[in-house]
Each structure stands twice: as structure tokens, then as C-alpha cells.
Amino acid sequence: MVEINSVYQKVLVLTNKEQRGFITPLEFNRLADRAQLEIFEGYFHDMKTALHKLPNQSEESDEIETLLEKISVHRVVGDALAINNSTGVVDVTSFSNTPYRLSNVRFGNQTVQEVTQGEYADMSAHPLTQPTTARRVYIRTGENAITIQPAPTSAQAENLVADYIVAPETPSWGYVVVNSAPLYNANTSVNFDLHPAEEEKLVTRILEMSGIVINKPGLAQLGAQMVAREFQSENN
């Protein structure tokens, strides 16, 4: 978790420096949500890139380990699934949280393999490759549904669980107006749903976007320079 007021105050200091402009709470909240999503979605691209690099000797400095630690903030493990036993359909909206990415599905100690519709058709056409109760598969059959084959019975359904990644909660800097000025209200605020190490990255991303919103090219340039320094530091 990253405290939203800490990020907002840093953004205000930098935007007001040399009279570069002012970011209202509404503007900040819109940019905060976008910045958080960009950082969160970047994890998965960075993970693909990191997998092509040789890991460092030190586990603490290993990029993959660092990314896994940041993603772990959003990981749900062993969520029980509600299934229609006659069809094998699992409605994703029945999950405890809405999945952003489904990691894997497990039936007891058995991992249920994901296959495409075409792969499932090919597997089902041959007795030796047909899915069985010892080798189940699942197919994505809609935006909010997956289908398990063969479908577990009612007695077996409680053994079906999933691991998945959830999207971060929308951040919000809550406030009350006192003497015509916004005053921070912790009770109505929602902090950033990211690893604490991402605070400075949030500040730089929001600054970069702020320059465009309030039409201050110098501010956008400042944010871009900070992002460039951040990128260079991460890749040294």
C-alpha cells in the first residue's frame, strides 16, 4: 500500500515549484488511477522481458523476484469456485474478487490445464487424448466464464479452487472544503493499492501527465526527465 496523501503532497510541491501550476483533487484522482493502472499493467510486460535476461546471483536484486513480490500484493490463492455441475461452467463473477488474470485452476491436488476451443476439439477427437477425471481441462467460454471438462459432480465441486491476480482498487484522495480550500480526509480516502516501493514511480508518472492536463509543458518535461532517470536506474 502507498499512502495517497503522501503522493499528493509531493505532486503539489513539485507542481507549485517555480509556479508550474496547481493540480486539483479531482484532476489528481483521475491521474492517480491512470498512473496506478499503468504501473500495474507494466508488471506483466516487465516479467516477460525479465524472463529473457540472465538472473542475478543475489536473490534480492533479481528482477524477477522483485516483480513477483510486487505482483504478490494482488494475488489471491485458493479461492473456491462456484460451478454449474451439469455444464461445468464457472461464472467468473462468482469469484470472491474479480480476476484480472487467472493464474491457474486446481481440482484437489490436480492442476486443471487451460486449452483453447480448438485444442479441446482436437483432444476430444481421440480416445488417448480426451480429457478425463484424472486430467481435466478448462476452456474460456466467455468474458466472465470458464468451462471445466469433465465437469465435477456436486460432491466434488468443493475441491475446485483458483489462483488469480486482481486489479488494484481505484485510489482516491478524499477531502472536505474548509475556507474554500480542500483539506485531506483520511476517512474517505482510498490509498494506492501497490507495493510501497512504487511511491516515487507514482509521483513521476502523475507529474508527467499533470503537465499535459494543466497545459504546462515544463511540468510534463520534468516528469519525463524523472521517468528517464528512473528507467536508467532500473536498467543499470
pLDDT digits (tens, 9 = 90+) for 61-81: 588 888 999 999 999 998 888
- How much is the pLDDT for 119? 94
The proportion of the chain whose per-residue pLDDT surpasses 70, expressed as a percent, equals 82
- The single residue listed with the C-alpha cell 514511480 is 201
SS3 109: coil
Statement: residue 173 has pLDDT above 60: yes
Amino acid letter, 27:
E
DSSP string, 151-186: PPPTTTGGGEEEEEEEPPPPPB--EEEETTEEEE-G
pTM: 0.77
Which residue would you say has higher pLDDT here, 233 or 85? 85
Average pLDDT over residues 39-45: 93
| C-alpha cell at position 209 | 501527465
Which of 171, 170, 165 has its CA nearest to residue 95? 165
| C-alpha cell at position 47 | 516479467
Q: How big is the CA angle at 67 (ends 65 and 68), to the nearest 5 degrees?
A: 65
- How much is the pLDDT for 182? 92
Statement: residue 120 has pLDDT above 90: yes
Question: Rounded distance, CA 75 to CA 69, Å?
Answer: 10
Report the 10 Å Cβ neighbour count for 20.
Answer: 19
pLDDT band at 18 (very low <50, low <70, confident <90, very high): very low
Average pLDDT over residues 83-90: 75
Integer distance in angstroms from the first to the last C-alpha of the chain? 26
- How much is the pLDDT for 107? 86
pLDDT band at 124 (very low <50, low <70, confident <90, very high): very high
Q: What is the pLDDT of the chain when averaged over all its residues?
A: 82
- How much is the pLDDT for 229? 54
Pairing label, strands 99-107, 89-91: unpaired
- How much is the pLDDT for 151? 83
Which of 1, 31, 77 has its CA nearest to residue 213? 31
pLDDT tens, residue by residue, 93-105 = 777 788 888 888 9
